Amino acid sequence: MSFKQLHQKWDWGLIILVFTLTGLGLMMILSSSFLLAQRYYGDPYHFFKKQTFYAFIGFIFIIGLVRYIPYQRYQRLTYPLLLFAILGLLLVFVPGLGKTTNGATRWIKIGPFSFQPSELVKIVYIIYLAALLSRQEKIKSFSTGVLPGLIIYAIIAGFLILEPDMGTVVFLGGLTLCMFFIGGVKIKHLFLTTCPILLALIYLLISAPYRVKRVLEWLNFLRPLLKWLIPELNLPSDPLGVGYIILHSKLAFASGGILGQGLGGSQQKLFYLPEPYTDYIFSIIGEELGFCGVSLVVFLFLLLFWRGIKIARAARDLFGFYLALGISLWFFMQASIHMGVCLGLLPPKGITLPFISYGGTALWANLIGIGILENIYMQGRR
């Protein structure tokens, strides 16, 4: 395919969307991290320069995936990719390779570089689900269709819990249920799938006291409704402890108003919110760009989801359909969870905002997903 033909077949609406989100992310990373970068690294542009490099390499990934790798090849390589992804989750526990930050061992460090295998697991797991659901003759059976998916999810979730990375465990569980429902899994099989996942998540929640405290503090958001339903209910409140982050995240949105405090004007990034350039970057957007900035980000993600659904509907085969659908759900669900946590609508959990939060592995995984979407789009047009 010549460059001219390649140029004509691009979905430029999708590319412009991704450029806009990534550019907005670079701008907000610089704004939210320059003080922390100056304090800890002596360079206010430390995080911005690294993310710019990651974005440049990521867009090269898109060109390579679109030009040289037909998406059908992923279906043939499903199990080798899955084995490679699970091996990556194992390697974080190898002494000398694994890197621990804030009590979590989620990174592999090789020299000056580190990457997070759980981010790459997301795209590989979506490829696996798409391959599984495309076998429509087997998906109606619990033993040959649903059970294998549950087993793979349980293996991945087990390693993620050990890190620990509960946010990704919950996200992948929700994605599995959505994909199974859309894929035509029988309702009784879906029920059999949902119950063990929910029971496992409840057990993990109550087995860790700090998680229980987080949920109880989050429930204070619903205090008026809960008090009306159960007048005797007395929820504990700890605004200077567990609830500190929730409180300051809400303060960020409250102080942002309609137009925000302006770029660089955030007060909550001044060591009030942890990781303001990753886990709480949406709160900084709310404070610095206000309601208008928040609305723009929400609109861009809705537009990205709609564009992904259109690509899925035009796919040449069932594997392409489910793969495009899974990638679209990934971006939409992860963005929704991140926004919900920052707004206090969901319990505190560290999960990044696709394309916008700082993180090289996460950005590369997101852009790989876009490259696959573009390939599905281009083949669907032929």
Note the pLDDT tens digit of each residue in 326-337.
999 999 999 999
- How far is the first Cα of the chain from the last one, in angstroms, to the nearest whole number? 13
Nearest-angstrom CA–CA distance, 206 and 201: 9
User: Angle, to 10 degrees, between the axis of helix 318-342 and the axis of helix 244-256?
Assistant: 90
* Backbone φ and ψ of 77, nearest 5°: -105, 20
DSSP label at 275?
Answer: S
Ranges 6-20, 66-80, 220-234, 293-307, most confident: 293-307
Q: Pick 111 or 2 by higher pLDDT.
A: 111
- 200: nearest Cα among 152, 154, 149, 148: 154
- Dihedral, CA atoms, 91, 95, 98, 104, nearest 10 degrees? 110
Ranges 38-47, 105-114, 207-216, 314-323, most confident: 314-323
Output the CA torsion sign for 106, 111, 113, 115. negative
Q: What is the pLDDT of residues 141-192, one digit of tens each?
A: 888 888 899 999 999 999 998 888 888 998 999 999 999 999 988 888 888 8
State residue 248's pLDDT score.
86
% residues pLDDT > 70 (the chain): 90
- Report CA-CA distances (Å) from 51 to 57, 162, 241: 10, 28, 32
State residue 95's pLDDT score.
86
Average pLDDT, the chain: 87
State residue 113's pLDDT score.
77
Residue 103 — pLDDT band, cuts 50, 70, 90?
A: confident
- 324: nearest Cα among 334, 332, 313, 335: 313
- 18: nearest Cα among 327, 264, 322: 327
Average pLDDT over residues 280-307: 96
Residues forming a β-bridge with 98: 108
% residues pLDDT > 90 (the chain): 56
State residue 167's pLDDT score.
87
List all residues 6 or more positions away from 357 whose beta carbon is below 8 Å from its beta carbon: 25, 29, 277, 278, 279, 281, 338
* Backbone φ and ψ of 101, nearest 5°: -135, 130
Mean pLDDT check: name the lowest of 3-17, 221-235, 269-283, 323-337.
221-235
Nearest-angstrom CA–CA distance, 167 and 160: 9
**Beta-strand relationship, 113-115 and 104-110:** antiparallel
Nearest-angstrom CA–CA distance, 324 and 353: 19
Average pLDDT over residues 310-327: 95
State residue 3's pLDDT score.
41
